[in-house]
């Protein structure tokens, strides 16, 4: 084990907090990382390991990542390794949200026949 890990702020913290989908727990975990004295070393270690592991298609690789390290979610780290794929994914998300917004506006404008 690298010596810097002995000074990690997450030692003794509930590991569930770092491996959850709960937004409040994620924020709490990120707060711990923010005050961690070895966050730079943690970032370098996790990014080195995940870059070495980034050998397949971006989308396949994204699904294999998990946990918060160095204050970054798995998706945030993935986006740093695959910036082009992340950009494409953002653009698709924005287009989908726009379509849904437009659909919502059309639904709001629809005239509902009054009965009676």
List residues near ligand SF4 by CB under 6 A.
8-10, 32-33, 36, 38-39, 42, 69-71
From the CB of 56, what's the least distance to ligand SF4, in Å? 25
Q: How many CB atoms lie within 10 A of CB 77?
A: 21
Q: Specify whether the CB–CB gap between 75 and 48 falls below 8 A.
A: no
Beta bridge partners of 27: none
Q: What does the block give as tokens for 40?
A: 């730079």
From the CB of 9, what's the least distance to ligand SF4, in Å? 4
From the CB of 65, what's the least distance to ligand SF4, in Å? 14
From the CB of 61, what's the least distance to ligand SF4, in Å? 20
**Euclidean distance between CA atoms 23 and 76, whole angstroms:** 14
**Euclidean distance between CA atoms 17 and 10, whole angstroms:** 10
- Show the CA angle centred on residue 82, arms to residues 8 and 3, nearest 5°: 20
């Amino acid at each position: 084990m690298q010596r810097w890990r002995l000074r990690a702020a997450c030692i003794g913290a509930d590991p569930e907090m770092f491996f959850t989908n709960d937004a409040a727990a994620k924020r709490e975990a990120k707060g711990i990382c923010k005050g961690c004295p070895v966050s730079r070393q943690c970032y370098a270690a996790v990014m080195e390991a995940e870059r070495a592991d980034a050998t397949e298609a971006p989308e396949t690789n994204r699904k294999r990542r998990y946990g918060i390290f160095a204050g970054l979610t798995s998706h945030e780290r993935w986006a740093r390794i695959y910036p082009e794929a992340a950009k494409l994914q953002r653009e698709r998300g924005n287009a989908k949200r726009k379509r849904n917004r437009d659909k919502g506006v059309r639904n709001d404008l629809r005239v509902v026949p009054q009965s009676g």
